[in-house]
Amino acid sequence: MNDPPMSLAPSMPTLLRQAQQTYSNALRSALTDAGYDDLPTNGLFIIGGLARRDGVPISRLARALGITKQGAGQLVDTLVTRGYLERTPDPHDRRQQIVTLTQRGRAAAEIQTTARAALDGALEASVGPAAVGNARRTLAALIDLGRPWVEGERR
């Protein structure tokens, strides 16, 4: 199509993988430069999520990340010991531990949000806002395509 004959068009999974790595590298290095160099990979995800909706129980994190609640619990553990998160018991449901950002966590979240916005902006500058909007909708449609499938079949 657009490339010289030698190179094949990369498959969709490859594109997605590399695109994700692009974001991941950008966010991580912004955080590292700002001194937040001890975040586990999924920590970025949690911190980013909590930046928008503060105070979330662990099991919700687990579902959002697609991992077990034990895994989420461990992840929160390390983020707590590293000073990014706090657990506070929910007064309304004494089973729940509500996870919130500490000051350090909020600072890291802000760095991350800024870095993400910067990359988002660079992408829009490169291909135009319409193309980005379209790509987002296409990705959302793809995810919806997979959703029903996942429920039944995934162990």
Partner DNA sequence: GGTTGATGGTCAATTCAGCTGACTAACTCT
Partner DNA sequence: AGAGTTAGTCAGCTGAATTGACCATCAACC
Site residues, its own copies (CB under 8 A): 3, 5-27, 29, 44-45, 48-49, 52-53, 56, 60-61, 63-64, 66, 116, 119-120, 122-123, 126-127, 131-132, 134-147, 149-150, 153-154
Tell me how far apart the alpha carbons of residues 122 and 104 are, in angstroms, rounded to a whole number. 27
How far apart are CB 27 and its own copies at their closest, in Å? 7
Expressed in angstroms, the distance from the first to the final Cα of the chain is: 40
Residue 66 or 128 with smaller CB distance to DNA: 66
Report the distance separating Cα 16 and Cα 12, nearest Å.
6
Stretch that binds DNA, among 21-29, 87-95, 121-129, 131-139 (CB under 7 A): 87-95
Task: Name which of DNA, its own copies, none residue 98 binds, using a CB cut-off of 5 to 8 Å depending on partner kind.
Answer: DNA
Nearer to its own copies, 19 or 74 (CB): 19
Of the candidates 142, 130, 116, 86, the one whose C-alpha atom is nearest the C-alpha of residue 25 is 116
58 or 111: CB nearest DNA? 58
Residue 130, classified by CB atoms within 10 Å of its CB into exposed (0-12), middle (13-18) or buried (19+), is exposed
